[in-house]
Amino acid sequence: MIANKVIRKRAITLLFIMLCLPAFTFAQSPVNAPVWGNWTHWGDQGNGTYRNPVLPGDYSDVDCIRVGDSYYAVSSTFQYSPGFVILKSKDLVNWQILGHAVKDISTISPAMNYTQMDRYGKGIWAGAIRYHNKRFWIYFGDPDEGYFMSSAAKPEGPWTPLHKVWGEKGWDDCCPFWDEDGQGYLIGTHFADGYKIHLFKMTADGKSLIKDSDQVIYQSHGSEANKLYKINGYYYHLFSEVRNNVRVLMMERAKNIWGPYEGPRQLSEGQPEFNEPNQGGLVQTQTGGWYFLTHHGSGDWSGRILSLLPVTWMEGWPVIGKPNANGIGEMVWSAPMPVKSTRKTYPQSSDDFNAKSLQPQWEWNYQPKKDQWSLSERKGWLRLYAFKPLKDHILSAGNTLTQRVYRTSKNTVTVKFDLSGMASGQKAGLSHFGAPDYATLGFECTDGTKKLSFTTKNQVLTGPEIQGNEVWIRSVWGLDGQSTFSYSMDGKTFKSFGEPYQLRWGSYRGDRIAIYNYNPLGKGGSIDVDYLHYDYDK
């Protein structure tokens, strides 16, 4: 009898909410949902609505907060440096890259330096960003090294030197929380011990955990992606877990931070056909609306893309996405803009290398050798010096410069190189970069002779000799991720070379575009890069 009353109450509440919601809020039905990856339309539509994904690129393990009228999101970066990327938006849909919190990822471990380079798929995993005591705080985990933190007065930095909070192996997905009395807490998953979720008090400076306070507050199959909030007197613990072989969003709540916790309650359906939107951050707009910025737990070549889901509160619980008949959220592909958009913005991509520092879209593969690149030696150009790799292989070569790619209808990346400084043995060019898979179109120098070379993990194709020093390399791909490389001697007429390459996922990362340069013979040499232009459908 009691169970029937609860079901009837939930059904009446759901009906009331659906009748009262604006008609367009969940206008797009599952029937009209796009085939996964067919992002012919995405982001701000310019008519007061947006379409998911809001960013069709690899921004994994996202978290999000609002401070004033600005929104800040952070994303894991693994072995790339600088690490822990920070994005900024005025409306939760139009995003730009603000910077990074970790300048030197070798402070996590020497293995993250160009001298070792053996942490693919590790490094900076999921974390969180919070605003407390007039400062921004970030916390994240490395699966081998433990939990780390940093803080800054401004989100663009400067950030304090990285500090190790918890030096134990086997932990992930942490999140800080400060209560009204100023007491700080950290929640995180001990995945090496059956995915137990632990809650700790922190010291006043947020730099250490008080071990005697440790309490396990939840455990289930794959329980992680932790966030902790206090809303209307309740402590809400948001997380994800695996149910029926799919990852879903879950939540438990309590009046006391230590529990007992009520629930857990399932907030969203896993929906594997939509790659299980599951990890992210709850955020409230200036006008009181609630949203969930999430990644899709995809393993395809575009990585874990970002979507924004409206949130409906039912009986004191947030429902992520469109509530179904069971009061559980489902994927929403189109909705009104959360905040009236002022202008469309996009993450930075193209670079003419005219600035004094690298633009924030760039991330090196591992911590680079800092004296082997320059933006000042030749004004308006990036100079990369070649040095000996750990092995004769792009994945073992230091100072490979990368940025994310996007999954849109048409993508064109064009790079202009000057090869006049190349030395014998040197290899350089443009790459679709990942681990273990990759493809390159570039140049190999032997005793002053430069030849075109196309390589993948499984093949090497040697091309014609390059006459002259200025060469353009181009890659073009579409929604299917099939890349075609080409080259030009005048920047106008391009000739394809090499086999079509299917962009790939690997080491928890989607594909990246990269500029590489190394010399297995150790004889040095250099290349200059005038620009990288990246044009994609918006």
Q: Which residue has the tokens 């990362």?
A: 509
Q: Which of 44, 61, 63, 530 is catalytic?
A: 61
Continuous segment of H or E residues that includes residue 483: strand 482-488
Cα angle 308, 310, 315; round to 5: 140
Rounded to whole angstroms, the maximal C-alpha distance in the chain is 87
Distance in angstroms (rounded) separating the CA atoms of residues 536 and 465: 31
Got the DSSP string for 392-428? Answer: SSGGG-S--EEEE-B-SS-EEEEEEEE-TT--TT-EE
Beta strand 460-465 with 449-456 is antiparallel
SS3 content of the chain, % helix, strand, coil (to 5): 5, 50, 45
Select which of 58, 142, 172, 224 is catalytic: 224
DSSP string covering 264-323, please? EEE-B---GGGT-EEEEEEEE-TTS-EEEEEEE---STT-S-EEEEEEEEETTEEEESEE
CB 404 within 8 A of CB 512: yes
- In the block, residue with structure tokens 């709850």: 282
Let me know if 224 is a catalytic residue: yes
CA atoms of 344 and 107, how far apart (whole Å): 37
Residue 61 catalytic?
yes
Residues labelled catalytic: 61, 224
